[in-house]
Amino acid sequence: MTLLKATSLSHHYDYPLLNDISLELKERESIAIVGVSGSGKSTLLHILSSLLRPNEGRVELFGEDIYGLDEKKLVKLRRNDLGLIYQSHYLFKGFSAYENLEVAAILANETIESSLLQRLGIDHVITQKVTELSGGQQQRVSIARVLSKKPRLIFADEPTGNLDHSTAQEVMDLFHDYLQSHNAAMVLVTHDEALAKECSRVYRMREGSLVEV
């Protein structure tokens, strides 16, 4: 089943950035997007995840044109079916790590699995305020928060940027296991070429176009 289909996406600011980009993503697949800073990787991720409307083109998620949805349906889609992970954690600073997870799980009508916390190595800090955690621990809490709501599509922008190589590899293994067990898919933006190669396909952003490598 195709979960994401992008057709002829183009976008510009004061300058052209993305030019005629098309791609598809099916269940259990993952794609990695690599490229130099400023090449448009994050902008493309925002377009694919419904956060930014392109100047031209179409994005379908689960067979629906997302720009044909009203705001209520779009909010529901983001809340229940999309998982967005960024290098900036966007955690609620006044809350504990567990409370951050709980908010997302409740909104999606899901439960927090202790096995997920253990696998991410945060089960022993889950009651602490997020401000008491290291950058790497906060990043793993943000990953747990997304996976706790069991999204069908994960959009991850440098999700392992604050992690050491060993922990980054463990997180990638977790992502791939999740895709298989939940019939989900993932779009990953990363500078780590080794982690990118673990995805089903790798694309390089070059002069506004996506080139499969």
The residue ranges of every structural domain in the chain are 2-212
CB 140 within 8 A of CB 70: no
Is residue 38's pLDDT more than 90? no
**May I ask the CATH class of domain 2-212?**
alpha beta
Q: Would you say residue 28 has pLDDT above 90?
A: yes
The answer, yes or no, to whether residue 87 has pLDDT greater than 90, is no
Element at 66 (helix H, strand E): none
Quick one: tokens of 124?
């022993």
The average confidence (pLDDT) of the chain is 93
pLDDT greater than 80 at residue 88: no
| Mean pLDDT (whole number) for 60-79 | 92
- 161 confidence band (pLDDT: 50, 70, 90): confident
Q: Which amino acid is at 206?
A: R
Residue 74's pLDDT band (boundaries 50, 70, 90)? very high
**Considering just the CA atoms, what is the radius of gyration of the chain in Å?**
17
* Structure confidence at residue 162 (pLDDT): 81
pLDDT value, residue 14: 86
Q: How confident is the model at residue 72 (pLDDT cuts 50, 70, 90)?
A: very high
- The model's confidence at residue 183, banded by pLDDT at 50, 70 and 90, is very high
Question: d(Cα 35, Cα 33) in Å, to the nearest integer?
Answer: 7
Mean pLDDT, residues 60-74: 92
Q: Which of 90-99, 106-115, 179-188 has the largest mean confidence? A: 179-188
Q: What is the mean pLDDT of residues 191-206?
A: 93
- For residues 29-44, give the mean pLDDT: 94
At residue 61, the pLDDT reads: 96
What is the structure's pLDDT at 84? 94
Q: What is the DSSP string of 142-205?
A: HHHHHHHT--SEEEEESTTTTS-HHHHHHHHHHHHHHHHHHT-EEEEE-S-HHHHTTSSEEEEE
User: Which residue's structure tokens are 């945060």?
Assistant: 122
pLDDT at position 89 is: 75
Burial 80-114 (b: 16+ CB within 10 A, else e): ebbbbbbbebebeeeebbbebbbebbeebeeebee
The pLDDT value recorded for residue 116 is 93
